[in-house]
Every structure is written in structure tokens, then in C-alpha cells.
Amino acid sequence: MPDEMEEIISEFITEAEESLDRIEPLFVELEQKGHDADMLNDIFRSMHTIKGAAGFLGFQSIVDVAHSSENIMKKLRDGEITLSKRLMDVILKAIDMLRLLLEHLREKDGIEEDVAPLTQELENVLKESLSGSPDGGVTVETREKEKDETSRPQDDNAVSNGEPAPSHGDETQRHGEEDNAEKPGEPAQVHKDTSHKAKEAAQNLRVDVERIDKVMDLAGEMVLIRNRLLNISHYFDLNYSSDTQTETLMEAVSFLDRVTSDMQLAVMKIRMQPIQKVFSKFPRLVRDISASVNKKVEIEIYGEGTEVDKSVIEHIGDPMTHILRNSIDHGIESPEERIAKGKPEKGKIVVNTYQKGNQIVIEITDDGKGIDIEKLKEKAVEKGMLTEEEASKMSDEAAVNIIFMPGFSTKETATELSGRGVGMDVVNNNISLLNGYVEVSTQKDKGSTFRICIPLTLAIIQALMVEVAGIKYAIPLSPIEETLKISKDEVDNITGQDVIVIRNKVCPLFELNGILGTGSNGGHDRDHKYVVVISLGEKKFCLAVDKLLGQEEVVIKTLEGIDTASSYVLGASITGDGKIVFILDVTAMSRSLVEAT
């Protein structure tokens, strides 16, 4: 039984948090839209449900907070009071408190919060709203009503309260089906809106993440074994093609090949969740931040249904929050400034998410003043990160991405808000952890766009196998634009940097050999070179390798104890022939190679 109880509690925590996640953005929407009975009822019901379950589990603080909030929601829903900023602030505070209480339960830290001041505040605000003036003037009747309502949970605990239905003779009485079926606060539309969702939820199953990850791991292992089998079957095909069993083997292996790919995709999809989970926090966040810096900002979110891997959900929140803070703090101008520029008083941030090939793209665009590129360059020179010459040669596209360079803190200009010890380089690092990259483009007085690109899945990727100095490496396929075979004469040298010209565009060329320090093994002497063209956002560079071996699916195994950024190794994988190969981190390469050019 204790285990069962523990499971119920953990389910309660998850479910209650999900409810809060769902209703929180509704508040901000309400604040903009004004009264909306459907939304109010939705919030009311969630509070009500959380209260009910918490009551069973004996979480009195949660019951108290949810109860006071529910009271307010009910009065709002029924139109007895109207939503004010003060009311909203207090309710949001209550939601924060509920989250905190749930967190304590999850951590089992035994910390108790004193919720009395909050419930008192909730009640006071409700009284103020009912009386229509903040300084008392509450009628006796209202006060009694309040008292009655707040004391109810205690009454509910009393077993005797639930008397059997008074007259059983009444039970046989039936009223018309239609009359009274809908309560006044619940227009028919609510039903319509939620019916689809409810149907979807009905077929959902809650599964422990560990179990899914186990399946994911096994699927990864299967990919490796499949790759080995493919190799072996090719060998048989070449050497024993006359044997009828070889054909059977080939058939079986190719079937296994197909099934493995399908399974991999299916497992990947289990881990995918709509990015909405992260985005639902943003309206509130934007509201709070913009209020604290006296700016007016609205946020529009598109593509929140886009599905991404669970680990993306877990890690994208912080960097995105930081970008949003940055946009509100530094990007969007004050209302006065905006009016003077002939812009609408209210700034706008648009978050757009979509899938592009095997990547997820998240764009955060503000309509603020843009990033001052000259200032950025100045500061980079000041900090010794660039020489004056480098700075003056640097294109605007490249220069604006200086903000992501490690050590380029915006501390001097940062206000208290975005200067919380997290610079843009941390944003970059967080996103690199997801094998993604971030870039920014900006236009003076038009605004800036941060674009985050992340591969769809993290565990299994398509890679190009290359060979350098007799060693095999895997390069993730998604940033590879093309591969070329060039002759030695096509390589030019501009101020010490090898370059090649691809369709009239100059592109820096690096010997992979040199980067990895594996020693030169004749790559220079050959007449021809194989070149892998890497494109990461605005940055483009070429890697020269000895051989191109072809495409393979690799399962990324992370390596402990290796500084991936300085060794340019993302992880390792086992290939079809059973050997271990390193997977190269081209994002890290681009950062240290290209930014310096």
C-alpha cells in the first residue's frame, strides 16, 4: 500500500502541474481579452479538481490556496466581479504558490510554506472586488458569505455532512432531458471545444520516462547490430552469391533493415512532445518582465504544436527565456521612444516554430531597435577578442553573432534583468548540448531575430563517414550542405587562409587533419581533395578530408571526461564493421575556426 500511495501522490503532482501549465497562459489571454466565460470556467474547474484531489491526499496547504483561488474564479465566471490587474497578480501568485507546494511534495523536503498570508490576501482582494472599492465598505452580508465559504472544507471533512439524499421518493422523478442540463456559466461551446481534446486524452497512457529511455537505448543497440549485419551480408553477397542461402540471408537482412528504421522512428516519436509545454510559460513571463521594465510588449506564438524530443523540451526553456528577457530588456524600446519613432506603442515578440527537413527551427523575432553592430565590434576589440583590423573586415552578419562568443558578457549594458549571470554564450552552450546552433540577424530600428536550429532527434543521427590519416570519423549530416571533389589548383590562399570558390562565393577551407592534429598524411600532395561543405546558419566553411566513405546511421554515445568543445568530438559510435568512430562536433569547430576569420 505505501508504494501505491506514493505512486498516487507522484501522479497527483504531475497532473496538478500539468493543469497549472495549461491554465497559466489563459490568465494572460484573459487580461488582454477581458471576460471570457469559457476560459474562466476552465480555470475554475482546474482549481476545483486540484483542491478535490489534494483534500483526499491530506495536502491542506494546497487545499487552502486552491480553495481561495477557486472562490475568486467562481465569482469571476459568474460575473459577480471583474478581472483587475490586482486580482490577476494575486491569482498568479497563488499559482506560483501551488507550484512551490507541489515542488516540496516532489522533493519530499518536508518544508512547509505558510500559506495563510496568501489566502488572506486572496480573500481581501475578493472582498475589495466585490465591494468595488479597495478601502473596505464590505457589507456584512458579504463578509458572512466569505466566512461561510472559507470554512467549508472543514465542514466537508465531517463525515456526517454527507447525509443520504433526503427523500428517495424523489429519485423516481425525472425531468426533461434538456432543461437545466447546462448550467449558466457553462455555455455549450465549452463542450464543443473540449470534446476533441478529451477524446485524445482518453487514448493516452502515462509511462515512466525511464522505461521509454530503455526502449530507446535498445533501439539504438539494434541499429548498431543491424549495421553490422548489413556489412556481413554484403560480404556474403560478394563472395557466396551462388549459394541460395545467401539470397535468403540478404532478404532477411533487408527486411530487418526496414523494420529497424521504422522502429527507430516509432521510438523516437514516443519521446516527442509538443513544444507547447515550454511555450505555455512565455505569455506570463513576457507580462512579468515587461511590467518590471515599464515596457509594453505582447507575444504571439505560432507552431506550438510542433513536436520535439523530450530532451529538447527540458533544455530549450532556459535559453529561450534568456533570449526573451534580452529582447524585452534590450530590444524593445520604451513606449515613449517607440511613439517618437512612429512605431506602435506596444512592442511585439513573435515566436515561431516549424520543422524544416530533419531540423526544428525556433525563431524569436522582436520589433525593437535592433542590435548595434558597431558597438558590439567596439566592445569585442576592447576585450581583446578581436583586433581592430579583424573587426573592420568582419561582415555585419558575422559581427552580430559576437554576442554568442564565450566571455562576451553584456554586463556593462545589462540591467538587473538580463544580467543575471547568464550571458548569451550560455544560450549558445545550452543549444549546442542539443546538437543545435543559434544565430541572430538584426536590422536597425526594425528588430532582431534569434533563430535556433535543433536536430529532430538526438540519440540517432545520420552521419557522413569520412577518413583522415587512415582514421574514420563521422560528421553529422544535417549541417552538411554538399561534398565536392576539387583539384589542388582550385585552392587559393588569402592572407594565410586557404579558401576555395564555390559558385562565386569564397569559402574558407580547413584540413581536418590539421584541426584534429592527427598529423599530415599526404593530404596536401594529392592532386584532388575531397571537401565537405558545412553550413551553420550564416557561417559556411569547408573541411578537406582524404576519403568520403558514405552515409551511415550512427547512435551517439556520449564520452565521459572529454572536453567536447576543445577536442571537437561530440561523442562516439560503433560502426557497421564493429569499430569505434568519433563523431565530430562541427558547431564547436565553426566557433573556434570561423569566428576568428
Partner 1 sequence: MSDLNIKILVVDDFSTMRRIVKNLLRQLGYINIEEAEDGAQAYSKLKNGGFGFVVSDWNMPNMDGLALLKKMRSDEELKDIPVLMVTAEAEKDKVVTAIQAGVNNYIVKPFTGEVLKEKIDKIFEKIGK
Mapping DSSP to helix (H, G, I), strand (E, B) and coil, where does residue 497 land? strand
- Indicate if 428 belongs to the active site: no
Taking the least distance from each CB to partner 1, the nearer of 188 and 238 is: 188
The answer to whether residue 198 forms part of the interface with partner 1 (CB under 8 A) is yes
Q: Give the shortest CB-266-to-partner 1 separation in angstroms.
A: 25
The answer to whether residue 145 forms part of the interface with partner 1 (CB under 8 A) is no
List the one residue from 29, 80, 116, 181 that touches partner 1 (CB under 8 A).
181
Taking the least distance from each CB to partner 1, the nearer of 201 and 238 is: 201
Take residue 347 and report the three cell numbers written for it: 512592442
The answer to whether residue 201 forms part of the interface with partner 1 (CB under 8 A) is yes
List the one residue from 140, 188, 202, 238 that touches partner 1 (CB under 8 A).
202
Residues 28-67 that bind partner 1 (CB under 8 A): 42, 45, 48-53, 55-57
Sign of CA dihedral 412, 416, 422, 423: negative
Q: Give the shortest CB-49-to-partner 1 separation in angstroms.
A: 4
Q: Give the shortest CB-40-to-partner 1 separation in angstroms.
A: 14
Rounded Cα distance, 306 and 572, in Å: 29
Segment near partner 1 (CB under 8 A), from 8-16, 242-250, 258-266, 375-383?
A: 8-16
Cβ contact 554:576 at 8 Å: no
List CB contacts of 551: < 8 A, sequence separation 6 or more.
462, 463, 464, 465, 477
Q: Rounded to an integer, what is the distance from CA 12 to the centroid of its chain?
A: 24
List the one residue from 88, 100, 138, 190 that touches partner 1 (CB under 8 A).
190
Taking the least distance from each CB to partner 1, the nearer of 51 and 287 is: 51
- Name the percent of the chain in helix, strand, coil, to the closest 5: 50, 20, 30
Q: Give the shortest CB-261-to-partner 1 separation in angstroms.
A: 34
Segment near partner 1 (CB under 8 A), from 105-113, 177-185, 243-251, 561-569?
A: 177-185
Segment near partner 1 (CB under 8 A), from 128-136, 196-204, 320-328, 518-526?
A: 196-204
Q: In one letter, which amino acid is 494? A: I
How many other CB atoms are found less than 10 A from the CB of residue 190?
Answer: 17
Sign of CA dihedral 452, 456, 462, 467: positive
Site string for partner 1, 146-175 (x = CB under 8 A): ------x--xxx-x-xx-xxxxx-xxxxxx
Taking the least distance from each CB to partner 1, the nearer of 139 and 195 is: 195
The answer to whether residue 191 forms part of the interface with partner 1 (CB under 8 A) is yes
Segment near partner 1 (CB under 8 A), from 10-18, 112-120, 221-229, 359-367?
A: 10-18
- Indicate if 70 belongs to the active site: yes
List CB contacts of 568: < 8 A, sequence separation 6 or more.
515, 516, 584, 585, 586, 588, 589
Catalytic one among 24, 70, 146, 552?
A: 70
Q: ∠ CA 19-155-157 to the nearest 5 degrees? A: 65
List the one residue from 3, 107, 135, 177 that touches partner 1 (CB under 8 A).
177
> Which of 228, 317, 315, 224 is closest to 278 using CA atoms?
317
List the one residue from 195, 292, 558, 592 that touches partner 1 (CB under 8 A).
195
Segment near partner 1 (CB under 8 A), from 11-19, 99-107, 290-298, 508-516?
A: 11-19
Taking the least distance from each CB to partner 1, the nearer of 182 and 300 is: 182
List the one residue from 8, 340, 433, 596 that touches partner 1 (CB under 8 A).
8
Q: Give the shortest CB-31-to-partner 1 separation in angstroms.
A: 23
The answer to whether residue 15 forms part of the interface with partner 1 (CB under 8 A) is yes
Taking the least distance from each CB to partner 1, the nearer of 85 and 175 is: 175
Rounded Cα distance, 111 and 109, in Å: 5
- Indicate if 48 belongs to the active site: yes
Q: Give the shortest CB-44-to-partner 1 separation in angstroms.
A: 9
Cβ contact 134:90 at 8 Å: no
Taking the least distance from each CB to partner 1, the nearer of 120 and 189 is: 189
- Concatenating the DSSP letter of every residue in 514-578 gives HHHT----STTTSSEEEEEEEEETTEEEEEEESEEEEEEEEE-B--TT--HHHHTEEEEEE-TTS
Overall size of the chain counted in residues: 597
Rounded Cα distance, 417 and 286, in Å: 12
Take residue 412 and report the three cell numbers written for it: 556593462
Q: In one letter, which amino acid is 140? A: V
Map 355-381 to HEC letters: EECCEEEEEEEECCCCCCHHHHHHHHH
Cβ contact 533:480 at 8 Å: yes
Map 217-265 to HEC letters: HHHHHHHHHHHHHHHHHHHHHHHCCCCHHHHHHHHHHHHHHHHHHHHHH
Catalytic one among 41, 71, 227, 326?
A: 326
Segment near partner 1 (CB under 8 A), from 132-140, 195-203, 280-288, 553-561?
A: 195-203
Taking the least distance from each CB to partner 1, the nearer of 172 and 244 is: 172
Taking the least distance from each CB to partner 1, the nearer of 158 and 238 is: 158
Catalytic one among 15, 17, 31, 48?
A: 48
Taking the least distance from each CB to partner 1, the nearer of 9 and 250 is: 9
Which residues are 560's β-sheet partners?
none
How many chain residues bind partner 1 (CB under 8 A)? 51
Rounded Cα distance, 98 and 456, in Å: 34
Residues that bind partner 1 (CB under 8 A): 4, 8, 11-12, 15-16, 19, 42, 45, 48-53, 55-57, 152, 155-157, 159, 161-162, 164-168, 170-175, 177, 180-182, 186, 190-191, 194-195, 197-199, 201-202, 206
The residues assigned a catalytic role are 48, 70, 326
